[in-house]
Structures are given as C-alpha cells and as structure tokens.
Amino acid sequence: MLGAVAALVLLAASYAVFFPAAWLRTELRGAERAEATFHTGRCVVGGCRVTFPFAGERVTARLPFGTRARGHADGDTVEVRHAPGDPRRLVLAEDTGRGTVAALLAVPGGATVLTLLAAAVHVRRDRRPEGSAEAV
C-alpha cells in the first residue's frame, strides 16, 4: 500500500513539473526573439541562465526545467524567446519545437503506464488461484 501511495505521489510530481514546462515552450513559440549570452549549469533541472538586453537593461534569467543545452558552453551566444513584457519567462528558441514538447509530455505519460503496469503485476501476484484454498 505504501508503494502505491509513493508511486502516486511521484506520478503527480512528474505531471506538476513536466506539463508546465511543455506549456511554456508551446506558449512561447511565436514570442519575441533576443540574442543572449549562455551561462552553464544543470540545464535539465533548470539551472542554466542567460543574460540578454530587455527594455534597455541587461537581464539574467533562468532557463526552464527540461532545457537541453545541446553543447552550448559558458559565454556562447544563443537565441531565446521571451514573453512580451516578462523577461523571466523565456526558453531557448531552438527548444520550442514539437519534439521537445512531445518529449516533455511523454515522461508523465510513460510514468503513468509504468505505474499502472506495476499495480497490475502487484495485484495479479497477490491473487491466489481458486483451487489452492487450504482446508483447516
């Protein structure tokens, strides 16, 4: 029972993280472009940052969860897309394609399938065959 609760919590957490990340990439496909300076970090967990000009100032913002750096090094010039009026909501321009969004959505979908399969195996394993009841 504890395993099922833990699986459900992990499943809910994956949906809570991956869906907003995919939605942001979809939402910013046609957003404003800007040239930015890339700063290394743990990109997949949202640790990369970029610095770019916005409204006459230099703004540094974090790239979202699930960003794939694709070989960018510290100091490289990259293209980003950001929400109009909100420089903190941005993604790498090359990270807004349908493949990236599909990959982000496949993770919670795959987690759901694995959770259901594990539950089915657990239930089936715990079921006793009908003819094996012991006489007391």
- Per-residue pLDDT 10s for the chain (136 aa) are 566 677 778 777 777 777 787 888 888 888 889 999 999 877 777 788 999 999 899 999 998 887 877 788 899 999 999 998 888 889 888 877 766 667 777 777 777 778 778 878 877 887 766 655 555 5
Distance between CA 26 and CA 129 in Å, rounded?
50
The closest of 87, 22, 19 to 50, measured between CA atoms, is 87
Give the pLDDT score at 30: 82
Residue 106 in contact with residue 58, Cβ under 8 Å? no
Give the pLDDT score at 111: 75
Give the pLDDT score at 109: 75
For the chain, the C-alpha Rg in angstroms (whole number) is: 22
pTM strictly above 0.75 = no
Give the pLDDT score at 15: 77
Give the pLDDT score at 134: 58
Give the pLDDT score at 131: 57
Give the pLDDT score at 135: 53
